[in-house]
Amino acid sequence: MAQHRVHLKNGSQIVGKLLKSDASSVSIQTIDQSIWVFTNSEIQRVDTLGQNFGKATYKRKGFVNYTELGPLAMSNRASNGVTTSAFSFQTTNGYRFNPLLYLGIGVGADLYAVQTFVPVVLSVRGDLSTSSAKIPFYFVEGGYSINATSNDVPTIKYQGGATFAVGLGIKLLFQENNGFLLGLGYRYQESSVTEKLQKSTEVFNRLSIRVGFSF
C-alpha cells in the first residue's frame, strides 16, 4: 500500500498510511499505529510516496547513532564497605551492514557511589526481526573503562579496567528511522584501588536497564 506524507502549515510532516481524505479533514496512520486527524485548514499539501507502509522507514544499511541511559542495579559493596549504586550514560556511533550486524564505538559515563568510570567500548548490535514497528534487538559490548574518580588523597590511586555488557531489547520504530529503545542486560566492570602500595581489585556485576533513542 502506498505511503503518504502530510505537510502541515506549521512546518511539521507526518508520514504513514492515508485512512481518509475528504472535503473537511484528512486522517493518517503512522508506523507506530497512531492515528492523526487534521482539518483541511491545517494542511498545506499531501504527497504520495509510493513506498510500502511499515517498511519505508527501516534503515537496512548506513550510519546509526544509539544514545542510552539508565541505572546499573544490584547490590555490590566496595572495599570500604559502602554499598554502591550506579547510573550509566552512553552514546554509540557506527555502521549497520545489515539488520543483524551493526558495529560501532561507544563512549559514556558510569557514575557509581564511590567511583566514576568513562567506558570506551566496541559495540556489536543486531535487529532480530524487521517485520513490524516493534523490533527486538541484541547487543554485545566490550572494552576498557578509564577511572575518572576525583581523589584528594595522594596515597590512594584509582585505576580502571575491563568492561563487558550483553543484553536484549525492543526498539519502537518511528518515522524517518528514529526509534525509542528499551533494553535489559548484564554489565561487568573491573577496577582497582592502590593504597599505601597495596593494590586491591574490585569487580562490579550489574543488571543494566537502558532507555534511549536511535537515529
How does residue 159 score in pLDDT terms, banded at 50, 70 and 90?
A: very high
pTM, whole model, 2 decimals? 0.71
* 206, pLDDT greater than 90: yes
pLDDT band at 182 (very low <50, low <70, confident <90, very high): very high
> Is domain 4-48 classified as CATH 2.30.30.100?
yes
Q: Whole-angstrom Cα distance, residue 146 to residue 190?
A: 10
pLDDT at 153: 82
pLDDT of residue 184 exceeding 90, the answer is yes
Q: Is the pLDDT of residue 55 over 60?
A: no
Rounded to an integer, the average pLDDT of 147-162 is 89
What pLDDT score was predicted for residue 197?
81
Domain definitions of the chain by residue range: 4-48, 62-214
Rounded Cα distance between 182 and 173, Å, is 12
Task: Look up the CATH number of domain 62-214.
Answer: 2.40.160.20
What are the DSSP E strand ranges found in the chain? 4-8, 13-21, 25-29, 35-39, 43-48, 62-73, 86-98, 101-112, 116-127, 134-147, 156-159, 161-173, 179-195, 198-214
